[in-house]
Amino acid sequence: MPANDLLPIEIKTLNSIDYAVVRVPGQPSFLLPIDTLQRAVVADIGGAAELAAHIQTHLLLGTAPITRNTCALLGDSRNDQAFSGGALSNGLKRTKTALHWLHWFNALNGQKLACIANYAVSGSRTSDLDGQITNLLATSPLPQFAFIWSGVNDLTNSVSALTAYTNVSAACTRLLSAGITPVVFLESGSTSMNTSGMVAALFEYNERLRGLAHTNRQIFVFDTTSTIWNPTGAAWTSTPAPVFNTGYSLDGTHPTNLAGYKLGLAFGGWFPGVILGVDSRPAAIGEFIFANNPLNAIVNGLFTTTSGGSSGGSGTLASGTVPASWSLNTGASGTSVSLATAGGAAGNVLTATITTTQASTVKLSQDVTTTVKNAAAINDIFQAGYEITVAGGTALRGINVIHEYNDGTNTFTYYDLYCQASAADGPQAFGPILCIPSAMTITTTPSGWITTRIEAVFSGAGGATISIARARFRKRLY
């Protein structure tokens, strides 16, 4: 349909929602919520003609509607490593890793962005973005934002900065045409980029990306380098080569748990504001009580009954009691755990003070009752959540937040902020954060167990003080 066949439009507001009244020759007029249009274009709208042109793009492309507060990941292994474990849909997997900035951003900011697709591929180059976007545009609904981290595999394989930039620019144009806002990450590079020519190409590529955002205000560029580079490292001038802050790189290219946290923290301070679509935190104490709320799959999530739980493991429960219905595994020998409860905003806060003389994992868990387990049906959806604060850590690899079920043969485990054994230690103090693993859909009969737990993982001798509030594990209706 030629552009001049789309007649001028008007804007109407119904029930506080703005709609464009679209009239196409030979067809009935219809209302299109402006919220489905690309956010930046609407913000800068100059008149009906511009809005009509953007609607025209959506009509011609036949793209799926945009869902606010959602995102997709594109690029190479830095985004690919956001998820691991069993496959879900649209490139997603069951485990959200602590290596990735997005999960830290969400944990620190009330879970503002839902990731609905991950088409990033380890080893890919900027020339592969086009194919990744083709996969993305085949999904429905489409995300509001696409986060692109790509370039290192170009620049370390003799692809010019201009070529890599041109590929990213084309990817952004294609995303914008579909109504998706691109957010491009500056390239942090690799310590293997150890020649003057490679470092010059890295700086040129990043400057071109900055220019992309300067000349097109519909594209955002996030500076990773100011967070994870060591600006005064000797190798910048001696080799030259990029220098990462101590503990921020696994292998000279990929972020560690600590770098993931720092990037998520920085991203939260920079990211254009998004409205939280839903807050997963219950509002009233009564919602945690099973008799009041049968969708609640566990009991004593507020730790109001401070004793009656069980403990085990090779470590020692040095003081305090385990709250009713909960189980504590004290970890390896040489690990000491002291528990205490104190009043919080709702119910009690459970604080565990942990010290260990060696690598150890301390676990707090609760299995759902046999009645709840037996009532679980195929396609039921369960999801856990914890509010966590960590202080005074030493050798703390990270905090795993988990829900899982077992069908008698196979165990299906979902993580948030999973800290891989091969990863370096994470941040030693943070929070409060809200950790919520991906929704767990029951696909086989859970004849074994359904459980939720939180794990404090230490890489060696050390300790931390970990406070947990408002633990929940609920059955979702949608």
Q: What is the pLDDT along the chain (478 residues), one digit of tens a residue?
A: 333 343 444 555 555 555 556 554 555 555 555 544 433 333 333 444 444 444 444 444 445 677 888 999 999 999 999 999 999 999 999 999 999 999 999 999 989 899 999 999 999 999 999 999 999 999 989 999 999 999 999 999 999 999 999 999 999 999 999 999 999 999 999 999 999 999 999 999 999 999 999 899 899 999 999 999 999 999 999 999 999 999 999 999 999 999 999 999 999 989 866 666 566 666 677 778 777 788 889 999 999 999 999 999 999 999 999 999 999 999 999 999 999 999 877 789 999 999 999 999 999 999 999 999 999 999 999 999 999 999 999 999 999 999 999 999 999 999 999 998 777 899 999 999 999 999 999 999 999 999 999 999 999 999 999 999 999 999 988 8
Quick one: which H or E segment has residue 371? Answer: helix 370-375
Of the residues 61, 78, 109, the one at which a domain ends: 61
* 350 vs 352: CA distance, rounded Å: 7
Q: Strand 348-356 to strand 449-476: parallel, antiparallel, or no bridges (unpaired)?
A: antiparallel
The residue type found at 341 is: T
Of the residues 41, 61, 81, the one at which a domain ends: 61
CATH of the domain at 344: 2.60.120.260
**Cβ-based neighbours of 126, under 8 Å, separated by 6 or more:** 150, 151, 154, 159, 163, 164, 165, 167, 168, 171
Question: CA 298, 300, 303 angle in degrees (round to 5)?
Answer: 140
**Cβ-based neighbours of 240, under 8 Å, separated by 6 or more:** 194, 195, 196, 199
Q: Which residues pair with 387 in a beta bridge?
A: 434, 469
Judge if 250 and 355 occupy the same domain: no
Torsion of CA 285, 291, 292, 298, to 10 degrees: 50
Q: How many CB atoms are located within 10 Å of the residue 324 CB? A: 16
Quick one: which H or E segment has residue 166? Answer: helix 161-177
Judge if 9 and 101 occupy the same domain: no
The residue type found at 231 is: P
Q: Does residue 275 form part of some domain?
A: no
Judge if 56 and 71 occupy the same domain: no
Is residue 451 within 8 Å of residue 369, measured between CB atoms? no
Judge if 165 and 197 occupy the same domain: yes
Judge if 315 and 329 occupy the same domain: yes
Judge if 319 and 416 occupy the same domain: yes
* 306 vs 473: CA distance, rounded Å: 19
Of the residues 245, 270, 295, the one at which a domain ends: 270
Q: Does residue 291 form part of some domain?
A: yes
Q: How many CB atoms are located within 10 Å of the residue 440 CB? A: 23
Judge if 256 and 154 occupy the same domain: yes
Torsion of CA 63, 67, 68, 71, to 10 degrees: -80
Judge if 358 and 429 occupy the same domain: yes
Q: Does residue 280 form part of some domain?
A: no
Confidence (pLDDT) at 274: 66
CATH of the domain at 252: 3.40.50.1110
Q: Does residue 276 form part of some domain?
A: no
DSSP state of 377: -
Judge if 55 and 82 occupy the same domain: no
**Strands, DSSP E only, in 177-267?**
181-185, 220-222
- The model's pTM is 0.82
Judge if 155 and 202 occupy the same domain: yes
Complete DSSP assignment for 283-337: -SGGGG-TTT-TTB-SS-TT--S-SB-EEESSSEEEES-PBTT-EEE--STTEEE
Judge if 378 and 449 occupy the same domain: yes
Judge if 16 and 97 occupy the same domain: no
| Number of domains comprising the chain | 3
Per-residue CA distances from 455 to 17, 84, 272, 429 (Å): 44, 18, 33, 16
User: 3-class SS at 266?
Assistant: helix
Confidence (pLDDT) at 44: 38
* 463 vs 289: CA distance, rounded Å: 33
Q: Does residue 279 form part of some domain?
A: no
Q: Does residue 137 form part of some domain?
A: yes
> What is the b/e burial string over 53-69, where b = at least 16 CB atoms within 10 angstroms of the residue's CB?
ebbbbbeeeebbebbbb
What is the domain extent for residue 240?
66-270
Q: Strand 17-22 to strand 10-14: parallel, antiparallel, or no bridges (unpaired)?
A: antiparallel
Q: Does residue 278 form part of some domain?
A: no
Is residue 188 within 8 Å of residue 229, measured between CB atoms? yes
Q: Does residue 203 form part of some domain?
A: yes
